[in-house]
Amino acid sequence: MRACFLSPGYPAEMPDFTRGLAECGAQVIGVGEGPAQAQPQKVREALSAWIQVPRLFDEDALVAQVVAELRRIGGVDCVEACWEPLVLAAARIREALGVPGMSVDTVRGFRDKQLMKDRVAAAGLRVPRAERVCTEAETRAAAARIGFPLILKPLAGAGSADTYRVDSEADLSRVLRLMGHVREASCEEFIDGDEFTYDTVCVGGVPVYENVAWYLPRPLVARTEHWISPFIVTLRDLGVPAIRPGVELGRGVLQALKMGNGFTHMEWYRKSDGEVVFGEIGCRPGGARLVDQMNFTGDIDLYKTWAQAVLGLPAQVSNSRRYHCGIVFKRAWGEGRIQQLAGLDALLARHRGWILDETLLRPGTPRRDWKATLVSDGYVLFRHPDWDAVRAIARDVQEKVRLVAG
């Protein structure tokens, strides 16, 4: 069985997806920029062949080259991408080769935020009121119809990049200047509430694995305040009354968008009155170690489960959830190079056995742009079966571990 996988070495989680394909018996044909020898070791060990392309994001040229080279070697059994900017290219390659998998039209429903909301709303599910806008005039007219506060974000964006809350006409003028490089945007109702994920591995649109994670605080807040150390936690119990409606909403969204095989990552909101509202969804996994959090929640290997799903093999996974698994992303105070890392040794000693990983930057290392990457200046990953205990660990990381740059 041959599997073509776009960008097997980047982002950071992709080598494990590549490994999953190989461990399920697939001959993995990787597609990326640069030579195969430059890929991470885990990728090199899993590859059977390599297609080097000049630019991954020249979509027309990428599709043409990959289709031609795959035809030359006799075709493949599946074509996959787990990185948001490449999911549509993978669908185009599948259609050109007649390979099973989600169609271009289906994938567009996961990529184009306005089309996505239209299809979800047509299924009778609650979505924010939203309009597609391409010009300043269209944006101002849509804002007048929707009303403040509202959200402006790219139609084909990922994460919270170029996403802004807008509270007034003056705010709108400021944000429009910041978004001048965005060709198409979604102007939508701001939903005030807690924000969660709904993550799945699906076979034929039916989840064989489900997960809910809670953003504390919601990403729109976390990306606007430097002092915040964002905390994301995968929840142990998906059956509690506060969470169950979001899971049911997510299942309805999968059906409305005609999901096929593979990972999905959805955001949804729970308002103070208990109403749940759809946010957005991608037909790919969440980033920033979210798949690893899910793995640690149940001691499973979702990289391999995903590979089984897309290869058409029986997808084997335990849905037993033993832990809440949290991650806190730290941001240094100051600019330049890290000068001090304080409180880490005490944290590790205090919560021995529950800390899974930490990547906090060490003194001498240049700090990162916290607005450009959720990972910021490193993270601490941990788990615990008790909710109060996992929250206590998170508070310790947020309040007692300190990074200072200068």
pLDDT over threshold 90, residue 118: yes
Answer positive or negative: Cα dihedral of 159, 161, 162, 164: positive
Looking at residue 207, its pLDDT comes to 98
- Neighbour tally for 71: CB within 10 Å: 12
pLDDT of residue 181: 86
Quick one: average pLDDT of 214-241?
93
pLDDT in tens, 311-369: 999 998 998 899 999 999 999 999 999 999 999 999 999 999 999 999 999 999 999 99
What does the pLDDT read at residue 157?
Answer: 63
- If you average pLDDT over every residue of the chain, what do you get? 95
Query: Quick check: 13 and 82 in contact, CB under 8 A?
Result: yes
- Mean predicted confidence (pLDDT) in 194-205: 97
**What pLDDT, in 10s, does the model give residues 41-57?**
999 999 999 999 999 99
Tokens of 36: 């195969």
Specify the pTM.
Answer: 0.92
| Confidence at residue 159, expressed as pLDDT on a 0 to 100 scale | 56
pLDDT tens digit string along 250-288? 999 999 999 999 999 999 999 999 999 999 999 999 999
Q: What is the pLDDT of residues 61-89, one digit of tens each?
A: 999 999 999 999 999 999 999 999 999 99
Kindly report the number of other CB atoms within 10 A of residue 335's CB atom.
Answer: 9
DSSP 8-state secondary structure symbol assigned to residue 95: H
Q: What's the one-letter identity of residue 102?
A: M
